[in-house]
Amino acid sequence: MGVLSLDLFVAALRLATPIAFVALGETFSERSGTINIGVEGTALAGALIGATVSFFSQSPWLGLAAAVGVGMLLGLIHAIWCVYLRSDHVVAGAAINLLVTGLAYFLTRVVWGWRGTSASAPILNPWLLVWTMVALVLISQIFLFRTPWGLRLRVVGEHPKAADTAGINVYRTRVGYSVLNGALCGLAGAFLFNNLGRFSVGMVGGRGFIGIAAMVVGNYRPIPAFLAAYLFGFVDALQMRLQDVIPSHFSIMLPYVLTIIVLAGFLGRANVPAALGKPYIKEEG
Amino acid sequence: MKLLRELGIVGVSVALGLGVGAIITAATGYSVPAVFRELVRGAFGDIYGFANTMTQATPILFTSLSFLIAFRVGLFNIGAEGQLLLGGFFAAWAGFTLNLPPILHVVVCLFFGAAAGAAWGFIPGWLRARRGANEFVTTMMLSYVALYLTSWLVSPGGPYHGHQWANQTARIMSSAELPRLMASGRELPSWGLVVGVLVAVIAWYFLFRTPRGYEIRAVGQSPLAAEYGGVDIARAQILAMVLAGALAGLGGAAEILGTHRRFIEGFSPGYGWDGIAGGLIARAHPIGAVFAALLMGALRAGGRAVDRAGVAPSDLAWVFQGLVILFVVAPELIRYFKRIRLRRRAHGRPEP
């Protein structure tokens, strides 16, 4: 068979998984009004803590729980910073990325004595997380557009004052979906660890940012965001096969270049939540 | 008065960051007093420590200026790392290819570095202004492209692999070197630092004393008001990103011409990321960036001393840096504490 074979499409689904988890989480977060570029670092933290806990407890399930837990913690910190302390969302996210990268180098040296990588640790079958992702994409699409909770979430991002008037707690809603975003990024990190069997500081490698791009291209909707993530996963799978044909330095660039081209060519930004990135200040009465 | 208040906020944020850093240090089983002692000694303890700090601060000063000029127009250049790498490579290329008289050669090399960075800043600036593409995603993606591109150029299969076993170019000609400020030794700051401080002053003049600089700040504060006032928003955005790229590229050039004297794969341990911290700690002020860069440089120099002394891994300094920015970007946190204090005072004595 040539380069295009069935396993290419299967590999693409696998490589799309971390991107899709992030895209899904960011969809919830941005729909409620919070931009989080800390998803890159949050996924890295999920992989790091997932690997560490799995290594010490010898239980990959505990590792998975820890990955989700640390993701939620970082989502909570980001939400406190954006919602209550009114930091700039992008800047707070960038701070999280820097902090986690530093922690990853530091902790790997403390625990394993190597800078930036871990020893191998017990893993789950990564396909478990692939199918979890697919299920969550479908559930999220229904949740966002067919349930009252989804409607409330969207109102908070579009018109927080109207939501407040209708008795929806804007602050708590934003914090809640930011924590959910963190949990999903934790799953992205958990997938990366379970896919490789060890932690490496470069393992996220921009997939968090590509996840944000997938969400933009998917126009803030779960299923289209997943399809965009699949496209990126496909190119990633393809570039691995092209490494015999062109120098690996160039094939590795493909997903990054594609992200730029896709973002540049994408103009139908109809669904950007109106209150995205703006702090909501409740009137005190 | 405003300056004092800003300084106070930054001071408290830095203290909070280092405080949480101390908790992490203790929690991972390292000695807090030993770590802080080595950190200060390595950064300011003697003339070599301070020389180290200044050497590390030089590229960070450029990337801080790069981040803050884009920040002033309301955009986020988080890809300074890639712009710095490209600038460094092109400066090195001009340094070992062109044959020019001493001072002119340095100027031309710096120009090549700035131009390469500017090109890398123009792409996300144009894409943002004309196509609406998120600049924090595109600058990051371009950073990866620059990383692999420069890495290929000096790899064994690439055209500029100038060494038997290391991925680096040939050495630049001596006419292209930025001399060191003090007599001898590898770890001493070069004239790149002087160039950096000069560029910071020019950046201040540009932002606060020229019409183009005013337009950039106007768009950053309120795009709608700026547009109503007749400012071309797209042009201001593109200009700011081009300048941001040029500044980071210039930083890479200064680092190559002054410290390494050849392009080495991975010569930057993350100076581009340090610029985000530097620009934010400076509260996006070019003169503040000089001091913010010194603080970031001190953390790097001190971190290495912590490692050398065997007290803790140097990456602890990176953790401190992350914590410091996290607190610097939350000025409301400090105002929140202040509000509690004011409320207490208000309850304590009668209203005037």
pLDDT over 60 at A258, yes or no: yes
Mean pLDDT of B53-57: 93
Residue of A nearest to B30 (CA): A110
Q: pLDDT category, B183, cuts 50, 70, 90?
A: low
Q: Which of A41-45, A184-188, B56-60, B334-338 has the lowest mean pLDDT?
A: B334-338
Distances, alpha carbon B123 to alpha carbons A44, A264, B120, B164, in Å: 28, 10, 6, 35
Tell whether A113 lies on the interface with B, counting CB pairs under 8 A: no
CB A17 within 8 A of CB A10: no
> Of how many residues is chain A composed?
285
For residues B130 and B243, membership in a common domain is answered with yes
> CB neighbours of B98 closer than 8 A, spacing ≥ 6?
B105, B108, B109
In percent, how much of chain B has pLDDT > 90? 61
Number of separate domains in chain A? 1
CB A153 within 8 A of CB A168: no
Q: What is the ipTM of this complex?
A: 0.90
For residues B21 and B100, membership in a common domain is answered with no
Cβ within 8 Å, pair B149-A257: no
CA–CA gap between residue A254 and residue A238 (Å, rounded):
9
| A62: CATH | 1.10.3470.10
For residues B144 and B270, membership in a common domain is answered with yes
Do the domain assignments include residue A190? Answer: yes
A84-127 residue pLDDT tens: 888 889 989 999 999 999 999 999 999 998 888 999 999 999 99
Do the domain assignments include residue A174? Answer: yes
Cβ within 8 Å, pair B329-A88: yes
Cβ within 8 Å, pair A106-B149: no
Do the domain assignments include residue A283? Answer: no
Tell whether B323 lies on the interface with A, counting CB pairs under 8 A: yes
Position A154 scores a pLDDT of: 93
Average pLDDT, chain B: 89
Residue of B nearest to A258 (CA): B141
For residues B238 and B336, membership in a common domain is answered with no
Best of A26, A35, A85 to substitute, by most chain B Cβ atoms within 10 angstroms, is A85
Position A1 scores a pLDDT of: 46
Phi, psi angles (nearest 5°) of residue B180: -80, 155
For residues B297 and B317, membership in a common domain is answered with no
| Domain residue limits at B328 | 1-30+313-352
The pair of structure tokens assigned to A156 is: 């908070």
CA–CA gap between residue A70 and residue A104 (Å, rounded):
13
Do the domain assignments include residue B46? Answer: no
Number of separate domains in chain B? 2
For residues B270 and B333, membership in a common domain is answered with no
For residues B12 and B130, membership in a common domain is answered with no
Best of A85, A98, A262, A284 to substitute, by most chain B Cβ atoms within 10 angstroms, is A98
Tell whether B277 lies on the interface with A, counting CB pairs under 8 A: yes
Residue of B nearest to A88 (CA): B329
Do the domain assignments include residue B85? Answer: yes
The pair of structure tokens assigned to A95 is: 């701070």
For residues B150 and B225, membership in a common domain is answered with yes
Cβ within 8 Å, pair A95-B326: yes
Position B334 scores a pLDDT of: 72
CB A162 within 8 A of CB A155: yes
Q: Which residues of A touch B29 (CB under 8 A)?
A: 110
Position B6 scores a pLDDT of: 79
A143-162 residue pLDDT tens: 999 999 999 999 999 999 99
Do the domain assignments include residue A279? Answer: no
Do the domain assignments include residue A202? Answer: yes
Do the domain assignments include residue A208? Answer: yes
For residues B17 and B76, membership in a common domain is answered with no
| B196: CATH | 1.10.3470
Position B185 scores a pLDDT of: 55
pLDDT over 50 at B351, yes or no: no
Do the domain assignments include residue B48? Answer: no
| Domain residue limits at A236 | 6-265
Q: Which of B149-153, B187-191, B199-203, B244-248 has the lowest mean pLDDT?
A: B187-191
For residues B304 and B344, membership in a common domain is answered with no
- Among B138, B318, B329, the residue with its CB nearest the CB of A95 is B329
Do the domain assignments include residue B47? Answer: no
Distances, alpha carbon A161 to alpha carbons A158, A169, A272, A278, B227, in Å: 9, 10, 17, 12, 27
For residues B233 and B132, membership in a common domain is answered with yes
Chain A, 133-192: which have a CB under 8 Å from a chain B CB? none
Do the domain assignments include residue A31? Answer: yes
Nearest to B248 by CA among B345, B97, B142, B339: B142
Burial of A171 (0-12, 13-18, 19+ CB in 10 A): middle
Position B47 scores a pLDDT of: 84
Do the domain assignments include residue B216? Answer: yes
CA–CA gap between residue A126 and residue A105 (Å, rounded):
25
> CB neighbours of A47 closer than 8 A, spacing ≥ 6?
A67, A189, A190, A192, A193, A199, A203, A204
Count contacts between A and B (CB, < 8 Å).
139
DSSP 3-state of A117: strand
For residues B88 and B12, membership in a common domain is answered with no
Residue B180 DSSP one-character state: B
Cβ within 8 Å, pair A264-B127: yes
Residue of A nearest to B319 (CA): A102
Do the domain assignments include residue A171? Answer: yes
Position B349 scores a pLDDT of: 45
Residue of A nearest to B128 (CA): A264
Do the domain assignments include residue B67? Answer: yes
Do the domain assignments include residue B45? Answer: no
